[in-house]
Structure 1
Amino acid sequence: MIAFRELQSLVNQMQRSGLTRLQINSADYAIRMICQPGSQLPAAPAPEPAAVAEVPVTPVAVTAPMPGRLWLQDPLSGKNVGPVSGPVEAGCLLALVQAGPLCLPVRAPQDGILTSIDATQGQAVEYAQPLMHLLPAGQQQTKEHDHAQHRS
């Protein structure tokens, strides 16, 4: 069986080399990895800020750490693994992804507000598949601040 760290290393190498698809077949397992085209390209330099620039509010996708089955609720107790909406802190447990006997946590990448859950309990998910969307805390405050300035 291939270790999770080795999978992470393969993904990093794929992104650096520009590969978008990789499939590995073995007698014991098969791995299929797909990366977004252009994900390895460096970001363009940011333009100079204008005096008053409106920043679009963009939710952050919370993605699956590996292929497997998504658990939003504990299969034995039926209790939610994490919050179903509202504010969350960075590192907060949101769900679990199970592959065989291994369960990996899906955690909030940053503080913010959980705005949507795009997958269902027990659904089969792929690596890096968006599971939820989180509105970063700073963007939410900026949006509210802009509305307050427009009202006054």
Structure 2
Amino acid sequence: MNQDAIALKELRQLARKMNVAGLQELEWRSGRVSIRLRFPERSLLPSLPSAEATPVTDSPTLTPVCAPMPGHIVLCHPSHGEAYVQPGQRVKQHDLLALVKVGPFYLPLRSPAAGTLVAIQVEPLERVEYGSEIMMLALSSETETSL
């Protein structure tokens, strides 16, 4: 595969962030590659539910857990392979959720609040950029009232 090629998954992630930010057009050129992403005005967009959104009734507050810096996400302990967390697991504030491998260093990714892990949105050892959503956390009611 060409080293200069941009993965479709990365383009989709960029388009999601762009749409959420309200940007209507983005153009990127590098050498022989040119990419232009366009969204119609929000008033023209159909109000269809997102394929990635999960319908929730009486939903708790969902909080994304984002990458603190670019690196590779390590979801299991490097030496014995045990997963740090699983979807559906309750976590406390500052619990270890994963590691971000940056070169030879492993940096902890900790829970920002107490709650239940709803989803893990990355694959093991997937490369992420700063601010990429890694997990979704449903805050517990104690956390919501204290915020």
Counterpart code for 1:71: V
Q: Is the 1:63–1:131 Cα contact (8 Å) retained in structure 2?
A: yes
TM-score with structure 2 setting the length: 0.54
119, 124, 144: which one pairs with 2:122?
Answer: 119
Determine the structure 2 residue equivalent to 1:106. Answer: 109
SS of match in other structure, 2:141? helix
CA distance in 2, matches of 1:56, 1:116: 14
Tell me which residue corresponds to 2:131. 128
1:1-152 aligned at under 5 Å gives the runs 57-80=60-83, 82-85=84-87, 86-138=89-141
Quick one: which amino acid aligns to residue 84 of structure 1? Q
In structure 1, what residue type is equivalent to 2:136?
H
Structure 1: runs of 5 or more not aligned: 1-54, 143-152
Counterpart Cα distance in 1 of 2:77 and 2:60 = 32
User: In structure 2, do the counterparts of structure 1 residues 76 and 56 end up closer, same or farther at CA, with 3 Å as the change threshold?
Assistant: closer
Work out the CA distance in 2 between the residues paired with 1:140 and 1:66. 26
Q: Which runs of 4+ in 1 moved over 6 A?
A: 139-142
Q: 1:112 to 1:95 in 2, by over 3 A?
A: same
**Structure 2 CA distance, aligned partners of 1:115 and 1:107?**
15
Structure having the higher Rg = 1
SS of 2:78 mapped into structure 1: coil
Identity of aligned residues (%): 36
The residue aligned with 1:47 is none
Give the whole-Å Cα distance in 2 for the aligned partners of 1:104 and 1:140: 25
Q: CA deviation at 1:100?
A: 0.5
- Distance, in Å, in 1 between the alignment partners of 2:137 and 2:104 is 28
Contact 2:95 2:110 in 1 (8 A): yes
Deviation by residue 1:42-77 (Cα, 9 ceiling, x = unmatched): xxxxxxxxxxxxx86331000111100000012332
Shift of 1:131: 0.2
1:107–1:140 Cα change, 3 Å:
closer
Q: TM-score w.r.t. structure 1 length?
A: 0.52
